[in-house]
Structure 1
Amino acid sequence: MKKIVSFGAIALLIATAMACSGQSESTTVTPGQYRAVLKTRGGDLPFGLDIQPGQAAGYTVFALNGSERLPMDPATVQGDSIRIPMALFESELVAKIDGNTLRGVWRRRRTAQQIQTLPFEATLGYTQRFVPTAQTAVATLTGSWATDFGNKSGRVDTVNAVGVFKQTGNRVAGTFLTPTGDYRYLDGNVVGDSLFLSCFDGSHLFLFKARHNPQAKTLSGGFWSGVSGYEPWAARFDPAAKLPDPASLTYLKPGAKTLRVSFPEPNGQLVSLSDPRFKNKVTVVQILGSWCPNCMDETNFLSPWYKRNRSRGVEVLGLAFERSANMAESGPKIDRMKQRFQIDYPVVLAGTNDKAEASKALPDLNAVVAFPTTLFIDKKGQVRHIHTGFSGPGTGAYYDQYVSEFNRLIDKLLAE
């Protein structure tokens, strides 16, 4: 159930509870891997937490989803409770420590005064996702699946996503590719004739359930996201399933050849593609938001790539579209993102993350249909290629293909 409360009210409740308990010393957390669950409308959404002693009195925490170990911000313990923040996404886990069990809430700020919450529990000993791996799987789901989200019929009438799964025993890892990005690292199990997948990364909360029809080679079920999101989905096994060309969705308007931008960095400095640092350089323009996990996946690729390649005559510019156009509110978020990913290239506040408003801010484009979107500009300042969305490392071979094509395109532009 969705609960909306203010930051101030929660802080007051925590302070009052600690004062009433009379506790002055902090409880310690047993290090190790925990099986965590969020209590969602679709049922328990499981994920892993690896909690280890960190610097000073804090703890280092990783969220575990498939092969991903996603670092959370340093966790702290006060009294009998632990707080595990993910400041980039304005969310956190707060729980009371009870032996080897943690009980509390996940909460995420949605506006300046309101947050969303879900119950949270974690128990030491991460030995299973949904069920023990020793259970025998009935279905085999490895491969590509043409997927239709929002389909109530259970048939696959259209394809707006491609599921890519790899199954070992009853364990399944994979993701869904869509025209605007992927569903990051999904992890789960085949239980009888049914598929269960989940993901938690501080921002995304995904829970998938589906029943397998072996005769028709189909899946049909439900998808729960966030606090209250839900839609049905269906999929058909199809090794040839593919999405529209990501270069066909966003393009320059007739007559346009370049991208006209002039926006401020958090320090107030205006940045334009006509600035000297971009002159005669191959430039990558990244349309992103600090709130967007797919954008963070791309940033995690671009930031070290830029460090390795900037001496070759390339530049990168990030255009951040945030939940607020107010620099006082969004500037610190951009700075936190730059610090977390050690970004050396400029990132400016270009507007709000409403796609219609983002499209108005970039009038040379037909539309901004996805965060992230990446533009490749040649040494003469002309836009040569636009890639909508991003297939992150959770997509396996699709990510490898993107990186290869990215580098080939940069090499070609540099050689001109």
Structure 2
Amino acid sequence: MRFPPFSLLIGLAGLAFSCSGQSQPTPVKSGTYRATLQTKGGQLPFGLAIEPGKQANTYAVFAINGTERLAMDSATVTGDSIRIPMALFDSELVAKIDGSKLTGTWRRHRTAQQTLTLPFQAELGPTYRFVPDAKSAKNTVAGTWATEFSNKRNQVDTVNAVGVFKQSGNRVSGTFLTPTGDYRYLDGNAVGDSLFLSCFDGSHLFLFKAKHDPATKMLTGGFWAGISGYESWVAKADPTAKLPDPATLTYLKPGSKTLTVSFPEPSGNVVSLTDPRYKGKVTVVQIMGSWCPNCMDETNFLSPWYKKNRQRGVEILGLSFERSAEMNESGPKIERMKQRFKIDYPIVLAGTNDKAKAAKALPDLNAVVAFPTTIILDKAGKVRQIYTGFSGPGTGKYYDQYVDEFNRLIDKLLAES
């Protein structure tokens, strides 16, 4: 058998390569990266862990904020670029691979016509947040702080909060609790007389900066959120600082004793609290949204809790308020959330996440103040508690207190005849 000349084989291989237009994907180096987003408030740093995936050219990626290691969706590499999606929040990181560095963009798709973007960079190796660990802090900010956030564009929009921080050397972690939820896991540094904190979880982009005056025990600074959000804030050290009782902010209208709901699941099945599934059961109603990281924290608690306790005579119903009331758009998001958190209880599409419209969808309530809001009904279907907001695991002891109180109330209602 005669073979073609070697030069001809090389030429044919080159032709095949050029016709396919494809090359071998550039591998991504595994490890922990120091990542940054360029915001109006400056660089917003966070940790990004990248590990080999289960399939070729895929990677497991985790956003790191404080003690949280939050799994993003499976990342893929095409050519010299990596795409790291977070489908639950309609966002993604897309970057070019250059050795130990990634350079690209964070994108968030608000609507089919609107995409928000910020520059993104990451470098393998550095473990510090804002400044190297050798940088020293003049003072400690550890403790509890009575805090007030103010929006200069709307002076009536002032929110009281409680800051809770831990500090080791110049490393600071903690969060802010508000009447409608917490700011999740914040991580940062105290340097000289300044405090820097940040968080990125695929949905939230939080950047806090402040000056610390130990003489007055005050923090004064700015808070940047997302693409363009900004608020000023002040905080005073106060070990007794606390929020209003979250069980008093949302309540039943006079004359109402139960909650009337009837909404469809993504499958089209209409679910009501009068269904046999809930008869004679202690029922937890979760007002939520797939777009809401605080709801994600609550779901991360409720989903395994339900698996453990459902045989005791309890049920959960999720009322999801999404950015769109159209099932063809929001149904897949609800299903993705159910898969991600292994949810065994029904979640229905109750409407849009506009609080005024959500309140109209639930006419027994005075208002929908926050996502999430948790409503607990006894065996007779009577509302026994409405809890506004959620103190997630990033709040430390406040989360532990919530879990204890939740379990005590459920135990009490289950013991009733």
TM-score (norm 2): 0.93
Displacement after TM superposition at 1:20 (Å): 12
After TM superposition, give the deviation of residue 21 of structure 1 in Å: 12
In structure 1, how many angstroms separate the alpha carbons of the residues matched to 2:328 and 2:72? 24
Q: How much does 1:151 deviate?
A: 6.9
The 5-angstrom pairing of residues 161-200 of structure 1 reads 161-200=161-200
Task: Give yes or no for contact 1:35–1:128 (8 Å, CA) kept in 2.
Answer: yes
Give the 3 Å change call, closer, same or farther, for CA 101–21 of structure 1 in structure 2. farther
**Are the aligned partners of 2:34 and 2:124 in contact in 1 as well (CA < 8 Å)?**
yes
Residue matched to 1:45: 44
1:376 is aligned to 2:376: yes
Q: What is the aligned-residue identity percentage?
A: 77
| Preserved CA contact (<8 Å) 2:159 2:178 | no
Q: 1:199 Cα shift?
A: 0.1
Moved more, 130-139 or 232-241: 130-139
- Decide whether aligned partners of structure 1 residues 63 and 21 sit closer, same or farther in structure 2, where only a CA change above 3 A counts: farther
Name the amino acid aligned to 1:233.
W
Instruction: Name the SS for the 1:294 alignment partner.
Output: helix
Q: Which residue does the alignment assign to 1:148?
A: 148
Is the CA contact (8 Å cut-off) linking 2:283 and 2:317 kept in structure 1?
yes
Within 2, Cα distance between the matches of 1:403 and 1:66? 21
- Establish whether residue 400 from structure 1 lines up as the match of residue 400 from structure 2: yes
1:92 aligns to what?
Answer: 92
Q: What runs of 5+ residues in structure 1 fail to find an aligned partner?
A: 1-18, 153-157
Q: For the residues of structure 1 that align with 2:304 and 2:235, how far apart are their CA atoms?
A: 36
**CA distance, structure 2, for counterparts of residue 208 and residue 21 of structure 1:** 48
Alignment pair present for 1:313 and 2:345: no
Corresponding residue number in structure 1 for 2:123 = 123
Given the superposition, is the C-alpha separation of residues 195 and 274 from structure 1 closer, same or farther in structure 2, using an over 3 Å criterion? same
Tell me the amino acid that sits aligned with residue 374 of structure 1: T
Q: Aligned residue for 1:82?
A: 82
Distance 1:114 1:86 in 2: 17
Structure 1 segment 54-65 matched on structure 2, within 5 A: 54-57=53-56, 58-65=58-65
Q: Does the Cα contact within 8 Å between 2:150 and 2:159 map onto a contact in 1?
A: no
Deviation at 1:137, TM superposition (A): 1.1
State the alpha-carbon separation in 2 of the partners of residues 28 and 314 from structure 1: 48
Contact 1:151 1:234 in 2 (8 A): no
How do 1:252-263 residues align onto structure 2 when only pairs under 5 Å count? 252-263=252-263
Q: Find the residue that maps to 1:113 and give its secondary structure.
A: coil
Q: Which amino acid aligns with 1:334?
A: I
Cα distance between partner residues in 2 of 1:96 and 1:22: 18
Whether the 8 Å CA contact 1:221–1:234 is kept in 2: the answer is: yes
The answer to whether 1:33 aligns with 2:5 is: no
**Equivalent residue, structure 2, for 1:8:** none
Match of 2:247 in 1: 247
Which secondary structure does the structure 1 equivalent of 2:62 belong to?
strand
Question: Partner residue of 2:137?
Answer: 137
Alignment of 1:338-349 (within 5 A): 338-349=338-349
Q: Quote how far apart the aligned CAs of 1:126 are.
A: 3.3
For 2:69, the equivalent position in structure 1 comes to 69
The C-alpha deviation readout for 1:93-124, integer Å capped at 9, x for no partner, is 00000010000000000112221000000000
State the structure with more CA Rg: 2
Distance 1:88 1:159, change over 3 A: closer
Counterpart Cα distance in 2 of 1:226 and 1:21: 40
Q: Give 2:107's aligned residue.
A: 107
2:289 aligned with 1:289: yes
Aligned partners of 2:19 and 2:413: how far apart in 1?
Answer: 66
TM norm structure 1: 0.93
Alpha carbons 1:146, 1:159 under 8 Å: kept = no
- Paired with 1:20 and 1:159, the residues of 2 have a C-alpha distance of 60
* C-alpha separation in 1, matches of 2:81 and 2:308: 42
Q: What is the number of residues matched between the two proteins? A: 393
Q: Which amino acid aligns with 1:94?
A: V
Distance 1:140 1:399 in 2: 24
Letter in 2 for 1:307: K
1:412 aligns with 2:401: no
Q: Secondary structure at the match of 1:162?
A: strand
SS state at 1:318 partner: strand
Deviates more, 1:340-349 or 1:127-136: 127-136
Residue 391 of structure 2 corresponds to 391
Q: 1: CA distance between counterparts of 2:159 and 2:168?
A: 26
Question: Hey, what's the Cα distance between the residues in 2 that align with 1:74 and 1:213?
Answer: 44
Q: CA deviation at 1:200?
A: 0.1
* Distance (whole Å) between structure 2 residues aligned to residue 280 and residue 20 of structure 1: 67
**Alpha-carbon offset, residue 159 of structure 1:** 6.5
Letter in structure 2 aligned against 1:51: I
